[in-house]
Structure 1
Amino acid sequence: MCGITGIFMQDVQAGQHADIELLKRMTQSIVHRGPDDLGLYASEQACFGFRRLSFLDLKLGNQPIFNEDESIACVVNGEIFNYQELRNDLIKRGHRFRSQMDCEVIPHLYEEYGINFLNRLNGQFAIALHDVKQQKLILARDHVGIAPLYYHYKDNTLLFGSEIKTLLNSADVSRSIDLISLDQIVTFPGMVSPRTIFSDVKCLPPGHVMTVDKQGMQIEQYWDLDYPENNPNTQPHTDAYYVEKLDHLLRQAIKTRLHADVPVGFYLSGGLDSSLIATLAHDMDPQQVFNSFAIGFGRADIDERQYQQQVVNQIHSNHHEQIFDYEQINQRLTQAVIAAESPLKESYNTCSLALSQMVQQQGIKAVLTGEGADELFAGYVGYRLAQQSRGQEEPFDLEFMLEQQARKTLWGDENFFYEKNYHEFHTLKSSLYSADTNAALLRQHCTSQPIINPARIANRHPTHQRSYVDFKLRIADHLLADHGDRVTFANSVEARYPFLDIDLINFVRTIPPELMLKNGNEKYLLKQLATKTVPESIIRRKKFSFVAPGSPFLLKNKPEWIMDMLSRATITRQGIFNPDTVERLTNSAIRGAHDINQTFETDFLMVVITTGILLREFVES
């Protein structure tokens, strides 16, 4: 994967042309995503920029990419894992290729199938394609949202890029904060596309394609996670069938993601998912010595090095680790916000930056990681708690009626519980916001409007309902964005996700949900698969979320710059948060009166601190 930028003029008038100088500035701002090469494409109507991080065909694999007569031009941030079979089929159909690069199949697939070519891809990608003859621009993002794609559309001109900072090079793009997006960060696991923290910038949602031509802009969904409706008459296969099929697909996903002309490593968290990827990779190629990377902590309650080391000892990897402490978080927090282009609720993005820096220092450009398994296989504690609470009656009073109304608005189902009671939380978070922020959010806030497609959880099993919502609220715009793409590419490293392989996802959709969470045992089916390769102590250990110390830990030494960020003068000047509430939270954190349980509680002060960093770095400067 790399970085892409572009400018497209919807209707070119005589004497007009796309601004190539602006494009160059946009492209230069993401050189960290692709330090290996630069590519530019320019016509009167469109211009594209490309920064390359090279993996395949190191000599001939630069972009932009064209079809045979160059009537179709495209740039692609991504990897197409099934490119070999697609390429072979296209060659049989008469297409000619200029390189061995995976993404070269894109313009030829578009020639053959039009926009429907997206349904043939297995990969992680953000695509920009200029159809010169039709005077049309097509933007597309992969099924689950691994590759980012942001845009700004105004006065018949579209700007786009792999990161928000590309668009901020234009004077036409306002840096004003979208308060509803901030409210989403406080309320949900993260922001939900198409919103971003900047009101003038939008994010193309996962599984969507945008078309821009003389008639205007149109955005359509080409894929969604669609679980089957409840069917009590379904006769499932045996457990062994699902384990063997899952084993085959996961091994295939790992194999294709290890394919590159440069070394590929993997992260080790000490948990089931990364351990399974590492041990399967070793099982498939025992002679290969892989590089593994991990973070440890001085605090025993969150340190997982003993489990990481068990896997290292088994697969004999070349292991790299870094011990994280207060000073590491303090030093990297600003960089984490700049990379994320968003406020944060946790400090673990600083750990992720350290991980990708270790990868870069070892000369490795890509790593495999385990995101997606928790959402597909009922790995979070919320799945188990929801199962335990099914059938229990909730107190029927005015507060509960208002909560049911909130759930109905958000999910289309007044009985679906996700994470928290949102009516109660709305009252709590209102005390965090300033009077002006509350006044703005009174008109519209993040729980006053639908957040998902309610048809996708109607008549579905509760485990499937929660999985779908996790994909929409947790995966794409949080775990794969600020916690994934931004912190890896900040150090010129690409993350690859075997559990998010589209063939594997489509199979998991068919697995009976009872095999995901069985007798309160999270990830039951995945644990059955893991017995083949993963140490038993890791399989049997209690679910342990990857967390880093919260704001109380950060404030215990009262660093001057953070104290200034939380000062009454700064909070009042920024006008977003309530200075009285921030002062009380700050004093409580300094006294050590309360630690944050990040699994169940919101670290409000971390949001305040990182919002201040965002304002300082992107708005006030």
Structure 2
Amino acid sequence: MCGISGIFDMRDVGRINKNIITDMIGKLNHRGPDGADFYQDEQVSLGFARLSIIDLETGMQPIYNEDKSKVLICNGEIFNYLELRQGLIRRGHVFSTNSDVEVIIHLYEEYGKDFIHQLNGQFAFVIYDKNKKSLFCARDHLGIAPFFYTVEEGFFIFASEIKAILEHPIVKRKIDLVGLDQILTFPGVIAPRTFFENIWSLENGHFIEIKDSRLRKVEYWDLIYPKIGEIEYIQSEDYYIGKLDDLLTKSVEYRLMSDVPLAFYVSGGLDSSIIASKINTINPAIKHSFSIAFTDKSISESNYQQMMAKHIQSKHTEALFSPTDISTRLFQAIRHSESALKETYNTASLVLSEAVKKNRIKVVLSGEGADELFAGYVGYRFDRMRNQSNTTSDSHEENRLRSCLWGDESFIYEKQYHKFEAIKRELYSQEINEMYDEINCLNHPVINKERIRNVDLVHKRSYVDYKLRLPEHLLADHGDRMCFANSVEGRYPFLDKNIVDFVRFIPPNLKLKMFEEKYILKQIAKKGVPNEIIKRPKYTFVAPGSPDLLRQDVAFIHDLLSYDTIKKQGIFNPDTIEKLKKQYLQPDFKLNLPYDIDMLIVPLTLGVFLEEFKMAGLH
């Protein structure tokens, strides 16, 4: 994967400044340190920064069709490109490179925009059609590759990261306060919002067409689970296990395609261990594995990481992480995340990708997506417990909020939102409280409630997890941005399109069997993962929080959380911040992460964000 950026004059009146794209693509050098190239005419300016992985010699972009009437830039990988390429050659198409992404432009010629359903990969691309004077932009099914955009003064401005968009002089820098409230309330910002007002993230499974000055956004894919009673689960358990095992093997094979060395993460949990085992079976020559270990033994999984590495005899690198690593890397983490954060573990992810880069490796496989697809979080078990006890004791207002959010007043996601509103109001400044109804993210829809109406409870939570947790958080600020900060591409076998399509029709009781999460994955794991890892309880990846940072007595942390700084920013209540600091500095105080909410980490990282992006605060 690489970095792309561009400017499209929707009015087509020859207003393209051809110098701006150079500054924009320069901000993406970490995504593509191996070279840059451009296409420009009177209506469009396209830039590409390359991280060479497949077709090292001729794979530079932009890429053109045979008569050069269409231009492509793509950040991503098309894993089924060899099959697609053969079919296109039989239809008479002529390829100019051996790149995987060149199939995109020929598929577009052959099938129009419907070709997107044939792709299996992680991608964000733009096709400029010179004859039609149109732009076609798309983001992959699961949202692995990022795509940000804004429309200002008739210009469509886009990039793989927001920092490139900000290089355009007409783009304004302002915090999206609803996005801030989403970070406090949900796992992270939810597309199409970003942390910047009027800069949008193209949702996963969507494309944009621009023609004749009109922009049209279309959803082409979603994780749609069957309604209760819509299908019969007539196959045997062995069928589902065997089919999923075959699909997962194929997915790993796809993601081992590379002309440069690859590696894999070993977290000590089930998901990454399955991937490591598959890699060891498919290609034992791929030996590099990496993990993060904490000096705080209470949150470290080092023993299980070492166990898996020894089991497959990998060449293992363990990156040791201490609380001081958070303060030294916090600015870097925020710069690449492009938002405030509600946890510090992005700094640990930075250390991990740093270790990969130091070993001259460009591609790493990881286990993201399994928790959301196979009932891996504790919430799935809590749902079942509540469902069996059939008790409800929540307030009328809480039920109303749940009904508005999910279309189901009995569905509890993460917290009691009505109670949490009181906590947020105490945290916010008086001026924010005066506009609270406007910026309150609970007043802004985050999902299509019809998608989870009358579906199994396991599938309901899976859909909400996928929408709220996966594309813009785990795959974005925690995944893509922290990998590419060190010029490393992440690949995610569990998020293969064929696997996800099959998962929709696996019986829910094979994902959560009684109270055992990820049951079907555990059956697959028995062939290649130590039993101690299969049977261990789910362990959430956490890093030290703001109490540890406060105790380090670091000057910039005290400055960013000082009464005067908080008051000047105008977003949070300085008196509340002072009370929290006093509480967090008590000798016996400890947050039980991730279940306790670290209320100081968002104000702290917001302060870092404002400094990094040269913004003043509310005004």
Per-residue CA deviations over 1:196-249 (Å, capped at 9, x if unaligned) read: 111031111100001111141110100000011111872332211111111111
**Is the Cα contact below 8 Å between 2:392 and 2:410 reproduced in 1?**
no
SS at match of 1:585: helix
Per-residue CA deviations over 1:425-444 (Å, capped at 9, x if unaligned) read: 11111111111112222234
Q: Tell me by how many angstroms 1:272 deviates.
A: 0.4
**Is the Cα contact below 8 Å between 1:236 and 1:512 reproduced in 2?**
no
**Matching residue of 1:225:** 223
Residue pairs, 1:113-124, within 5 angstroms? 113-124=111-122
Q: Distance in 2 between matches of 1:443 and 1:30?
A: 34
Residue 431 of structure 2, aligned match among 436, 440, 451: 436
Q: Which amino acid aligns with 1:245?
A: K
Q: Are positions 1:475 and 2:470 aligned together?
A: yes
Farther-moved stretch of structure 1 (465-474 vs 404-413): 404-413
Q: Which amino acid aligns with 1:12?
A: D
SS at match of 1:573: helix
**Is the Cα contact below 8 Å between 1:176 and 1:619 reproduced in 2?**
no
Q: Distance in 1 between matches of 2:422 and 2:365?
A: 41
**Matching residue of 1:3:** 3
**Is the Cα contact below 8 Å between 2:437 and 2:443 reproduced in 1?**
no
Residue pairs, 1:535-614, within 5 angstroms? 535-614=530-609
Q: Are positions 1:372 and 2:369 aligned together?
A: yes
Q: Distance in 2 between matches of 1:349 and 1:485?
A: 11
Q: Which amino acid aligns with 2:237?
A: D
Q: Which amino acid aligns with 1:512?
A: P
Farther-moved stretch of structure 1 (520-529 vs 556-565): 556-565
Q: Distance in 1 between matches of 2:172 and 2:35?
A: 30
Q: Distance in 2 between matches of 1:313 and 1:236?
A: 40
**Matching residue of 2:493:** 498
Identity %: 48
Cα RMSD after superposing both structures: 1.2
Per-residue CA deviations over 1:509-549 (Å, capped at 9, x if unaligned) read: 11000111112111111001100100000000111011111
SS at match of 1:443: helix
Per-residue CA deviations over 1:337-358 (Å, capped at 9, x if unaligned) read: 1110010111110110011111
Q: Tell me by how many angstroms 1:89 deviates.
A: 0.4
Residue 416 of structure 1, aligned match among 411, 420, 424: 411
Residue 335 of structure 2, aligned match among 335, 338, 341: 338
Farther-moved stretch of structure 1 (288-297 vs 607-616): 288-297
Residue 305 of structure 1, aligned match among 286, 296, 302: 302
**Matching residue of 1:128:** 126
Q: Distance in 2 between matches of 1:416 and 1:236?
A: 28
Farther-moved stretch of structure 1 (273-282 vs 441-450): 441-450
**Is the Cα contact below 8 Å between 2:335 and 2:609 reproduced in 1?**
yes
Measured at CA, do residues 232 and 341 of structure 1 come closer, stay the same or move farther in structure 2, by a change above 3 Å?
Answer: closer
Q: Distance in 2 between matches of 1:69 and 1:395?
A: 65
Q: Distance in 2 between matches of 1:296 and 1:543?
A: 17
Q: Distance in 1 between matches of 2:54 and 2:304?
A: 34
Structure 1 residue runs of 4 or more that deviate by more than 6 Å after TM superposition: none
**Is the Cα contact below 8 Å between 2:342 and 2:602 reproduced in 1?**
yes
Q: Tell me by how many angstroms 1:315 deviates.
A: 1.3
Q: Distance in 1 between matches of 2:289 and 2:541?
A: 17
SS at match of 2:73: strand
The two structures have a TM-score, normalised by structure 2, of 0.98
Farther-moved stretch of structure 1 (325-334 vs 182-191): 325-334
Q: Distance in 1 between matches of 2:343 and 2:154?
A: 39
Measured at CA, do residues 124 and 233 of structure 1 come closer, stay the same or move farther in structure 2, by a change above 3 Å?
Answer: closer
Q: Are positions 1:362 and 2:359 aligned together?
A: yes
Farther-moved stretch of structure 1 (37-46 vs 227-236): 227-236
**Matching residue of 1:183:** 181
**Matching residue of 1:453:** 448
Q: Tell me by how many angstroms 1:323 deviates.
A: 1.1
SS at match of 1:547: coil
Per-residue CA deviations over 1:393-416 (Å, capped at 9, x if unaligned) read: 5555xx621111111211122222
**Is the Cα contact below 8 Å between 1:11 and 1:213 reproduced in 2?**
no
Q: Are positions 1:388 and 2:406 aligned together?
A: no
Q: Distance in 2 between matches of 1:86 and 1:444?
A: 46
**Is the Cα contact below 8 Å between 2:335 and 2:612 reproduced in 1?**
yes
Q: Distance in 2 between matches of 1:314 and 1:349?
A: 28
Per-residue CA deviations over 1:315-334 (Å, capped at 9, x if unaligned) read: 11111111111211110111
Q: Distance in 2 between matches of 1:590 and 1:206?
A: 41
Q: Distance in 2 between matches of 1:165 and 1:529?
A: 42
**Is the Cα contact below 8 Å between 1:17 and 1:43 reproduced in 2?**
no
Residue ranges of structure 1 left out of the alignment (5+ in a row): none
**Is the Cα contact below 8 Å between 1:411 and 1:450 reproduced in 2?**
no
Q: Distance in 2 between matches of 1:302 and 1:81?
A: 36
Q: Which amino acid aligns with 1:568?
A: Y
SS at match of 1:619: coil
Q: Distance in 1 between matches of 2:605 and 2:148?
A: 21
Q: Which amino acid aligns with 2:85?
A: R
**Matching residue of 1:327:** 324
Measured at CA, do residues 132 and 429 of structure 1 come closer, stay the same or move farther in structure 2, by a change above 3 Å?
Answer: same
Q: Distance in 2 between matches of 1:146 and 1:532?
A: 29
Q: Which amino acid aligns with 2:378?
A: V
The two structures have a TM-score, normalised by structure 1, of 0.97
Q: Which amino acid aligns with 2:135?
A: L
SS at match of 2:151: strand
Q: Distance in 2 between matches of 1:329 and 1:198?
A: 24
Q: Are positions 1:426 and 2:424 aligned together?
A: no
Q: Distance in 1 between matches of 2:613 and 2:262?
A: 34
**Matching residue of 1:151:** 149
Q: Distance in 1 between matches of 2:601 and 2:224?
A: 35
Residue pairs, 1:17-96, within 5 angstroms? 17-96=15-94
Q: Distance in 2 between matches of 1:104 and 1:232?
A: 39
**Matching residue of 2:234:** 236
Q: Distance in 2 between matches of 1:212 and 1:466?
A: 35
SS at match of 1:455: helix
Q: Distance in 1 between matches of 2:593 and 2:115?
A: 41
Q: Distance in 2 between matches of 1:560 and 1:393?
A: 52
Q: Tell me by how many angstroms 1:301 deviates.
A: 1.2
Q: Distance in 2 between matches of 1:593 and 1:129?
A: 58
Q: Which amino acid aligns with 2:344?
A: S
Q: Distance in 2 between matches of 1:542 and 1:170?
A: 49
Q: Distance in 2 between matches of 1:120 and 1:18?
A: 34
Q: Distance in 1 between matches of 2:390 and 2:526?
A: 38
**Matching residue of 2:272:** 274
Q: Tell me by how many angstroms 1:155 deviates.
A: 2.0
Q: Which amino acid aligns with 1:508?
A: V
SS at match of 1:413: coil
Farther-moved stretch of structure 1 (349-358 vs 555-564): 555-564
Q: Tell me by how many angstroms 1:620 deviates.
A: 3.4
Residue ranges of structure 2 left out of the alignment (5+ in a row): none
